[in-house]
Amino acid sequence: MAETKSGELMEKIVSLCKRRGFIFQSSEIYGGLNGFWDYGPLGADLKRNVKEFWWNTMTRWRDDVAGLEATIIMHPKIWKASGHVDTFSDPMVDCKTCKARFRADQMNEIPCPQKPSKMSNECHGEKTEARPFNLMFETTVGPIKTDDSLAYLRPETAQAIFAQFKNVMETARQKVPFGIAQMGKAFRNEVTPRNFTFRSREFEQMELEFFIRPDEAVEAITGTVARPLGPGHPGEPQPNWGWQMWHQYWVEERIRFYENIGLPRTTLEEYWQKPEELAHYARATVDLLFKFPFGTQELEGIAARSDFDLSQHQRCSGRPMTVFDEELKAAWPKLDPARQTELRDRYRQARLKYLTKAGETVEAAEKQAQADAEALTKGYYVPHVIEPSAGVDRLTLALISNAYCEDQAPDEKGKLESRIVMRFHPRIAPLKVAVFPLLKNKPELVAKAREILALLRPHMTAFYDEAGAIGRRYRRQDEAGTPFGVTIDFDTLGEKGPELKDTVTLRERDSMKQERVRIADLLPLLLEKIR
């Protein structure tokens, strides 16, 4: 029953997205392309607002994060170093009867192409063994197609951040701890794209790589490594924070971000990956899940990835990814010798573990780990990283699902009728305000409405609508999720007396409350509500 209801709700959301111009199927006139979606006028603005708020909170409004915009196609060696060439795959199973291909872990959930009403496991065809299927889209660079010209569309934005780590750090004059943020397109040849835009083949990510000192360096500098005392935001960053504090900090910062765009904590869930689910280099990963109509699913992952990524690029490119830490260099000689030995050895062990996993011979790994530990005592190390990685399209879908609401509103005669209202937070709503002259055939009303539109437009997205009864115009904007409506009537013109001259009716979308506001107060009042 609950499943049918959520299915119905999803159908209503998909239909509204098309009808109102939030999201369309890509290439629809040719039958569509599975896993690809276009954003219509309202969707494009909604997505843009989400990205802008992320960019502001993650870079512009912070001292310790710099931005980057890298290319989608990069040197293929990047994807070898990152592990994507060898391991970025899903296990696939082919049905020998119906020839369909399935993800081995989703075998029971996918309709059989020959009998769509049935699930794949009911097609009794013999299945092949599971085989890895790499999810990266391949392309070639240059006019001749050879193995040497093979390149990939990036499957994540993160790797460019690691590859440009040194350039950004130096030009932005940053010191660890600091972060690099990037957003942009990513491509994955998902085997089973589904749930509307939730799992697409072309999508956008917003990723931060926040580089921190290894715990051994923190301990050498500050004497201790602070660890989380309990749940909740740990407050302003402190010099004695190790990776666990930074990880908790970023989980809480990201939850705040969602709260600030209208997804309260009650709509989210934290899922701490179990040790056996973690990538071998990851120390902890928290998935932030959203309660979508089709189930509670991942919106963002926040991973403590150790020094794996920069170390990989250092090994594979031959370029040093170490930083020099003046404070560490100064602190080291002041440590007592037992402490020095303990920290050096702990660091050596960690490097040894990484190098061995990376495939170095025992001898080479031991030699390198020893050298890395010696370098630490002189102030050099490869930074560790905390990575909050979010999907723009998933978030946009979460915001649309969360905003969708059906309630009752009075029509012109006061009779209640049902309405669909998209309760977007004003900060991310695609349109902030709609301006309505009461009647379109009264030039004075139209001129005044146009004047108000011109007043508001430089500061916010404002929509002008003069067509139809005012109630119907309100209803259209409710469906678009426009939080405010401004109506210009005969009172505005002073026809009923001087007291109401140059005032307008301001209507609030959710409460449908209307108040009379002076035109002179309108802009500051709206700006305060949408920021």
Quote the DSSP letter at residue 204.
Answer: E
Closest CB to ligand GAP among 65 and 158?
A: 158
Work out whether 199 is an interface residue with ligand GAP (CB under 6 A). Answer: yes
Q: Which helix (H) or strand (E) holds 328?
A: helix 326-331
Work out whether 215 is an interface residue with ligand GAP (CB under 6 A). Answer: no
d(CA 34, CA 362): 47
Work out whether 300 is an interface residue with ligand GAP (CB under 6 A). Answer: yes
Position among 190, 259, 327, 466 found at the interface with ligand GAP (CB under 6 A): 190
Nearest Cα residue to 519 out of 508, 503, 507 = 503
Provide the token pair at 60: 């512009």
Work out whether 188 is an interface residue with ligand GAP (CB under 6 A). Answer: yes
Work out whether 200 is an interface residue with ligand GAP (CB under 6 A). Answer: yes
Q: Minimal distance in Å, beta carbon 188 to ligand GAP?
A: 5
Work out whether 486 is an interface residue with ligand GAP (CB under 6 A). Answer: no
d(CA 49, CA 429): 8
Work out whether 209 is an interface residue with ligand GAP (CB under 6 A). Answer: no
d(CA 90, CA 190): 9
d(CA 228, CA 242): 10
- Alpha carbon 67 to its chain centroid, in Å, reads 15
Q: Minimal distance in Å, beta carbon 134 to ligand GAP?
A: 14
Beta strands in 423-501 (DSSP E): 433-437, 462-464, 484-488
Q: Minimal distance in Å, beta carbon 500 to ligand GAP?
A: 50
Segment lying near ligand GAP (by CB under 6 A), choices 9-17, 203-211, 378-386, 449-457:
203-211
Of residues 382 through 441, those in contact with ligand GAP by CB under 6 A are: 389-391, 393-394
Residue matched to tokens 């872990």:
105
Position among 45, 207, 325, 491 found at the interface with ligand GAP (CB under 6 A): 207
Q: Which helix (H) or strand (E) holds 480?
A: helix 470-480
Q: Minimal distance in Å, beta carbon 101 to ligand GAP?
A: 17
Q: Minimal distance in Å, beta carbon 50 to ligand GAP?
A: 12
Query: Which residue's beta carbon is nearest to the bound ligand GAP?
Result: 391
Work out whether 45 is an interface residue with ligand GAP (CB under 6 A). Answer: no
Closest CB to ligand GAP among 121 and 297?
A: 297
Closest CB to ligand GAP among 157 and 248?
A: 157
Q: What is the 3-class SS of 351-380, one letter each residue?
A: HHHHHHHCCCCHHHHHHHHHHHHHHHHCCE
Segment lying near ligand GAP (by CB under 6 A), choices 139-147, 234-242, 294-302, 333-341:
294-302
The stretches of 20-115 forming alpha helices (DSSP H) are 41-55, 76-82, 84-87
**# chain residues binding ligand GAP, by CB under 6 A:** 18
The strand pairing partners of 209, in sequence order, are 180
Closest CB to ligand GAP among 372 and 393?
A: 393
**Torsion angle (degrees, nearest 10) of CA 326, 330, 335, 340:** 50
Q: CA dist 209 to 245, 253, 308, Å? A: 15, 14, 12
Closest CB to ligand GAP among 299 and 452?
A: 299
Q: Minimal distance in Å, beta carbon 257 to ligand GAP?
A: 13
Q: What is the 3-class SS of 251-314, one letter each residue?
A: HHHHHHHHHHCCCCHHHEEEEECCHHHCCCCCCEEEEEEEEECCEEEEEEEEEECCCHHHHHHH
Q: CA dist 165 to 89, 311, 385, 398, Å? A: 26, 12, 12, 32
Q: Minimal distance in Å, beta carbon 390 to ligand GAP?
A: 5
Closest CB to ligand GAP among 54 and 347?
A: 54
Work out whether 298 is an interface residue with ligand GAP (CB under 6 A). Answer: yes
d(CA 244, CA 257): 20
Q: Minimal distance in Å, beta carbon 152 to ligand GAP?
A: 14
Closest CB to ligand GAP among 138 and 374?
A: 138
Binding string, residues 143-182; x marks residues near ligand GAP by CB under 6 A: -------------x-x------------------------
Chain residues that interact with ligand GAP, rule: CB under 6 A: 156, 158, 188, 190, 199-200, 203, 205, 207, 298-301, 389-391, 393-394
